[in-house]
Amino acid sequence: MLETDKWMDEFKEKLAGFFGERLLYLGLQGSRRRGEADENSDIDLVVVLDKLAPADLDAYKKIVLTMPEAGKVCGFISGRTELANWPKYEIFQFTNDTKDYFGKLKDFAPTVSDEDIKYFVKISAANLYHGLCHERLFSDILNNREMLKAFYKPAYFVLSNVHYLRTRHYPGSKKELSGLLKGDDLKVLQTSEQLRTNPPADLNAAYELLLNWSRDLLVNF
């Protein structure tokens, strides 16, 4: 199993060695940030440079390819100005799911309001609802575990934002969040994990749960 902190320290040294003072930030997101990774999990990075040119992307790619498990690297890279002007509805989730390894992400990201967070919840619910309806009409989603799993994946982030707006507390992991939820919110998170590990026998019930949950968020939240 990859030693994440050791990997990140090595990567930070290589980035700093090439970009020098142009490197403003390095962070880690996703399951490795939450301590929930398995051997197949992505290494989900956040990198901010003073500014970003196509040649910087080529250089960054070459540095990634020198690292162990390079094929698992994904994530976000931008210049400082681009991040400062990023759509605010995405920023709260983005910053709260990121662990700082070099610099502080809050120093470069725009400030968000509760309305921005609520908009994230609304637009996520709308996208889920529309996508589920579309796939029910034009694909075989009820017999496709991988497709349904992909629809469930964003639910954790939506639930984290909803919980924050209700309680002013942002849970740091799926395990923590599962202990704070109840009702359909908890069922959605549990079903998401089942689809990732041991799929539920009734995919139709899982489909209907997510469709109804996304509809209720869109209409009532």
Check pLDDT > 90 for residue 197. no
Asked whether residue 176 falls in the same domain as residue 132, the answer is: yes
Asked whether residue 194 falls in the same domain as residue 118, the answer is: yes
Look at residues 73, 107, 141 and tell me which one is the last residue of a structural domain. Answer: 107
Tell me the C-alpha distance between 109 and 190, whole Å. 32
Q: Rounded to 5 degrees, what are φ and ψ at 209?
A: -60, -50
pTM across the whole model: 0.93
Q: How confident is the model at residue 1 (pLDDT cuts 50, 70, 90)?
A: low
pLDDT digits 0-9 by tens, 64-82: 999 999 999 999 999 999 9
Mean pLDDT, the chain, rounded, equals 96
Q: What is the pLDDT of residue 81?
A: 98
Asked whether residue 82 falls in the same domain as residue 169, the answer is: no
pLDDT digits 0-9 by tens, 140-194: 999 999 999 999 999 999 999 999 999 999 999 999 999 999 999 999 999 999 9
Asked whether residue 118 falls in the same domain as residue 215, the answer is: yes
Q: Where are the beta strands (DSSP E) in 30-171?
A: 43-49, 73-79, 98-102
Q: What is the pLDDT of residue 114?
A: 98
Asked whether residue 89 falls in the same domain as residue 156, the answer is: no
Going by C-alpha positions, the residue among 116, 115, 107, 108 that lies closest to residue 88 is 116
Q: Rounded to 5 degrees, what are φ and ψ at 26?
A: -140, 130
Q: What is the pLDDT of residue 70?
A: 98
Asked whether residue 133 falls in the same domain as residue 53, the answer is: no
Asked whether residue 127 falls in the same domain as residue 200, the answer is: yes
Asked whether residue 72 falls in the same domain as residue 158, the answer is: no
pLDDT digits 0-9 by tens, 27-64: 999 999 999 999 899 999 999 999 999 999 999 999 99
Mean pLDDT across 5-15 = 98
Q: Is 120 exposed, middle or buried (0-12, 13-18, 19+ CB in 10 A)?
A: buried
The set of residues, in sequence order, having a beta carbon less than 8 Å from that of 25 and lying 6+ positions away, is: 46, 47, 48, 100, 102, 103, 104, 105, 107, 108
Asked whether residue 157 falls in the same domain as residue 175, the answer is: yes
Mean pLDDT across 78-93 = 98
Q: What is the pLDDT of residue 99?
A: 98
Q: What is the pLDDT of residue 2?
A: 84
Asked whether residue 149 falls in the same domain as residue 74, the answer is: no
Which residues span the domain enclosing 154? 114-220
